[in-house]
Amino acid sequence: MELVQAAIAGDRRAIARLITLIESEIKEAPAILAEIYPYTGRAYVIGITGAPGSGKSTLVNQLAKSYCDLGRRVGVIAVDATSPFSGGAILGDRVRMRDLGQYPGVFVRSMASRGNLGGLARTTPAVVKVLDAAGYDLILVETVGTGQLEVEIARTAHTVLVVEMPGTGDEIQSIKAGVLEIADVVVVNKSDRDGAERTAAILEAMLSTRERWAGSGLVYSDHSGALLPRLAKYLGGEKSSMTEETSWRPRVVRTVATRGEGIADLLCAIEQHRQHLLTTREWEERNRLRLLSEIEQVLRRRLMERLLHQVELDHLAEVVNSVLARRLDPYAAAEQLLCG
Amino acid sequence: MIFMNQSHASPPIRVLIAKLGLDGHDRGALVVARALRDAGMEVIYTGLRQTPEMVADAALQEDVDVVGLSILSGAHLVLLPRTVDLLRKYGLGDVLVIAGGIIPDEDVPVLRERGVHAVFGPGSSTQEIVNFIREHVRK
Ligand SMILES: Nc1nc2c(ncn2[C@@H]2O[C@H](COP(=O)(O)OP(=O)(O)O)[C@@H](O)[C@H]2O)c(=O)[nH]1
Ligand SMILES: [Mg+2]
């Protein structure tokens, strides 16, 4: 496809068009992704998650500038929530990224979640691939930031930043929301406010006792019979290759994103994590799990579509009536529909 | 609503809303942004003090179907045509460009001539804007 070749060559209009096609999940999307895939795998992906207003977009603005100054080409994907009522969305992350307009090496794309709940849009991992293939070697992905469990970013990024604000122990959002488990680096932003030091200390203490992530965050699945834990078991058995000494201990970094303070420390922590991944087996393990998880998600969606498609409408109407009349329970109804 | 099949619906119209010029507030732009969201569109809101270069760059990267520009400063005869020219230069000639804010009636034909598709004054309803976009957006 001509558009794909132009995007790979770095044509920004082509990249933008291609993202729209992928995001719209048009019929040709799988073919496009197949053509792109051989060109991917070069980018380093950094995820930024955290409660609304914690300063994610402001941090992305600073990080993108810093990486650009280091000569990197930076892609930014900023995800915001789609309204469940209208299907529309206001995507406002660019307001905090106005500096990036002056950097020709930066490409910023806003995405609406379009009904997906895990903090990203369903097609965000595919859009990451488009930017990767187009030569953006550093990709920053900002999640919706509902303050809820947003674990999908852990399957998409190499390094996950969880952004926090100064507050007392029971105000710390990432502890409440249970996203600390996926953090590789915890950023205490707005450290110009009171209590930043204490917040950092509380987080340090929490992190020193937390569960190791390779066993929790990524493998977690609420589906019974999920392929991910099964394959992990098949490949590695119970014994994890990570011992106390080789496992990553998340860093806590304090920043003032609005003033660019602490950004150098943050870059340093990210680089340390990258080095950690590269020098241990975790790089390969994570990549394998990431790809498996992606395959599994597509597989689930396709299976579901296929099964639902097979349901005969007159049969469905009849079954629903039986359930309404209490002649059949919903579980038995589903079983009947499955059997056709 | 629960019977709506998302995957077969056509993708949402994408709109960039920006406030051109150095002065003012963005209340009007925000009201329009909300109305468009409630009409099912995806609105990329870029905020205050945007230049034509910033708008065209964002429109390119976001692959929007519509650019909506709010302007209060009186520099509309310079800034709006300049934005249209940049969009064309970037190959975005098929993007619908609409403007709002304080624009004297006598300037409207000039702006239309220079490629602004519609001008909505302070008296316009958001429904008019929604309808105009739906009717004229590229297919
Ligand atoms: N005081 C202070 N305010 C900040 C800092 N970083 C961001 N903000 C402000 O916090 C608000 C939310 O920031 P934003 O980046 O949009 O947060 P997001 O919702 O997590 O993306 C904005 O008004 C920012 O200017 C900081 O380090 N200190
Ligand atoms: Mg944000």
pLDDT of amino acid A151: 78
pLDDT of amino acid A214: 45
Minimal Cα–Cα distance from A107 to chain B, Å?
Answer: 7
pLDDT of amino acid A223: 53
First to last CA, chain A: 40
pLDDT of amino acid A128: 97
Question: In this model, does residue B16 exceed pLDDT 50?
Answer: yes
Contact status, residue A201 vs residue A223, Cβ threshold 8 Å: no
Most confident of A226-230, B72-76, B100-104: B100-104
The CA-atom distances, in angstroms, between B102 and each of A78, B32, B51, B70, B105 are 32, 15, 17, 8, 9
pLDDT tens-digit series, residues A166-217: 987 777 877 777 778 889 999 999 999 999 999 999 999 888 876 555 433 4
Q: Quick one: how many helices (H) and strands (E) in chain B?
A: 5, 5
Write down the ipTM of this complex.
Answer: 0.92
Q: Quick one: how many helices (H) and strands (E) in chain A?
A: 13, 8
**Domain segments of chain B as ranges:** 2-136
Length of chain B: 139
CA-CA distance, A65 to A19, in Å (whole number)?
23
pLDDT of amino acid A237: 53
Residues 6+ apart with CB under 8 A from A72: A105, A137, A138
CA-CA distance, A2 to B96, in Å (whole number)?
25
Of ligand 1's atoms, which has the minimum distance to the CA of residue A52? Answer: 19
pLDDT of amino acid A294: 86
The mean pLDDT of chain A is 88
Tell me the H-state helices in A93-210: 124-133, 152-156, 173-177, 196-208
Pocket test for ligand 1, best of A110, A258, A259 (most atoms within 8 A of CB): A258
Going along chain A from its start, the domains and CATH numbers come out as 39-210+250-280 (3.40.50.300)
pLDDT of amino acid B3: 40
**Per-residue confidence band for A148, with pLDDT thresholds at 50, 70 and 90:** low
Are the Cβ atoms of B9 and A109 closer than 8 angstroms? no
What pTM value is reported for the model?
Answer: 0.92
Which residues from A are below 8 Å from B62, CB to CB? 16, 108-110
Residues 6+ apart with CB under 8 A from A197: A254
Q: CB under 6 Å to ligand 1: residues?
A: A 50, 52-58, 96, 145, 189-190, 192, 256-258
CA-CA distance, B67 to A242, in Å (whole number)?
51
Report the separation in Å between the CA atom of A76 and the middle of ligand 2, taken as the mean of its atom positions: 12
Tell me the H-state helices in chain A: 2-8, 12-23, 29-36, 56-69, 124-133, 152-156, 173-177, 196-208, 227-236, 263-279, 282-310, 313-324, 330-339
pLDDT tens-digit series, residues A289-314: 788 888 888 898 889 888 888 888 89
CA-CA distance, B95 to B13, in Å (whole number)?
11
CATH architecture of B2-136: 3-Layer(aba) Sandwich (3.40)
**Per-residue confidence band for B9, with pLDDT thresholds at 50, 70 and 90:** low
pLDDT tens-digit series, residues A76-132: 999 999 999 999 999 999 999 999 988 999 999 999 999 888 899 999 999 999 999
Question: In this model, does residue A160 exceed pLDDT 70?
Answer: yes
